[in-house]
Amino acid sequence: KMAGSSTPWIGSAYLFLQSTCKTIVLPSLYESSQKKPSVFKALKLALADSTGSVNGVDMLKVHCSHPHLIVQLKFCKQENCRRFLQSYREGVLQESLQNHLQLSLAMTTVPLEMELKAGNEHLDNMLKDEDRCLECIYREKPDRLRDEEISELEECLKSLIVHQSINNNTAVKGCVSLNSPSLPCPSQGSSISPQVTFIFQGQQFANRTLTPDDHQKFAKLVSKKWKQVGRSLQKNCRALRDPVIDNLALEYDREGLYEQAYQLLLRFIQSEGKKATIARLIAALEENGLISLAEELLGLHSNEDCS
């Protein structure tokens, strides 16, 4: 009826969260650079509790839409989704998230209201019909890849947990990577810890700084879409904020598309340094449908030309 045994079961839903306490505004807490890692940690732990696994449900993005904090969820297994629905229906998820927020934010209590939606369907109205809920979630395929910020927060949390377990659960403030002891969280300024690996088309690739070869391939093959890729990179790169991209288009108009694309990536590499990684460029290419170019940069095209 749903996915066959050979096809992976993938679905998506949105979890709407709102505090019933007027003095606690979840979107404001998440938008605060100091509180964001704490809110994220609480979300991650509560979702892990609900499915019985850290990887049972994936957070793709956290939207701040006052007064709601909206978490876009992705499920890759029907049994995980079923566990999540049971936990949600029985109030276990709500209680777990309230407890984790309370601990993470060092507050006395964080009362919550929750709502679950898949597309236009309000799942709260049909929670007793679990199969129908599963159908609705399965029907909604994720419309995006995981947000870069989520990946950064995930890495931050992982390195903190590893560090704590090595130190026999000694409390560590902030986010500490074992390789670079003083590396801050993404929330503590622009010094972001790049993730070690990333996923593209179900495969894991080592994240690395962009090379001159990447630079030339990108400039040669991106063609007219260089501006769109630039606007995707712009979200986390101050050096590409408006009107830089339009200025590059005018400045290198005579030289043509290769030079315009080359100069765009040059700005990105110069401003971001070691943080100008292949994962960030691949995410920008995927966002703009340039899958073939992404495959070329990752060496997935053996003897084919990148169209």
Kindly state whether residue 249 falls inside one of the protein's structural domains. Answer: yes
Same domain, 96 and 210: no
Q: Domain end: 151, 172, 188, which one?
A: 151
3-class SS of residue 148: helix
Same domain, 40 and 146: yes
Q: How many Å separate Cα 178 from the centre of its chain?
A: 23
Contacts 24+ apart (CB under 8 A), 86-91: 86/130, 87/49, 87/50, 87/51, 88/50, 88/114, 88/116, 88/127, 89/127, 89/128, 89/130
Give the global pTM.
Answer: 0.54
Same domain, 87 and 219: no
63-83 core/surface letters (b: 16 or more CB in 10 A; e: else): eeeebbbbbbbbbebbebbbb
Contacts 24+ apart (CB under 8 A), 251-255: none
Same domain, 132 and 222: no
Same domain, 129 and 206: no
Which of 45, 68, 69 shows the shortest CA–CA distance to 57?
45
Kindly state whether residue 125 falls inside one of the protein's structural domains. Answer: yes
Kindly state whether residue 188 falls inside one of the protein's structural domains. Answer: no
Same domain, 122 and 55: yes
What's the pLDDT score for residue 18? 96
Q: Domain end: 151, 184, 208, which one?
A: 151
Kindly state whether residue 160 falls inside one of the protein's structural domains. Answer: no
What's the pLDDT score for residue 195? 65
CATH of the domain at 205: 1.10.533.10
Same domain, 121 and 206: no
Range of the domain at 257: 197-298
Let me know how long the chain is. Answer: 307
The residue ranges of the chain whose pLDDT is under 50 are 1, 3-4, 168-193, 303-307
Kindly state whether residue 97 falls inside one of the protein's structural domains. Answer: yes
For residue 8, say if its preceding peptide bond is cis, omega within 30 degrees of 0: no
Same domain, 61 and 116: yes
Same domain, 77 and 137: yes
CATH of the domain at 22: 3.30.70.680
Kindly state whether residue 189 falls inside one of the protein's structural domains. Answer: no
- The number of domains in the chain is 2
Same domain, 138 and 201: no
d(CA 155, CA 175): 9
Residue 259 CB: number of other CB atoms within 10 A?
16
Kindly state whether residue 6 falls inside one of the protein's structural domains. Answer: no
Same domain, 127 and 255: no
Kindly state whether residue 307 falls inside one of the protein's structural domains. Answer: no
Q: Domain end: 116, 151, 186, which one?
A: 151
- Strands 121-122 and 197-200 come out as unpaired
Same domain, 103 and 204: no
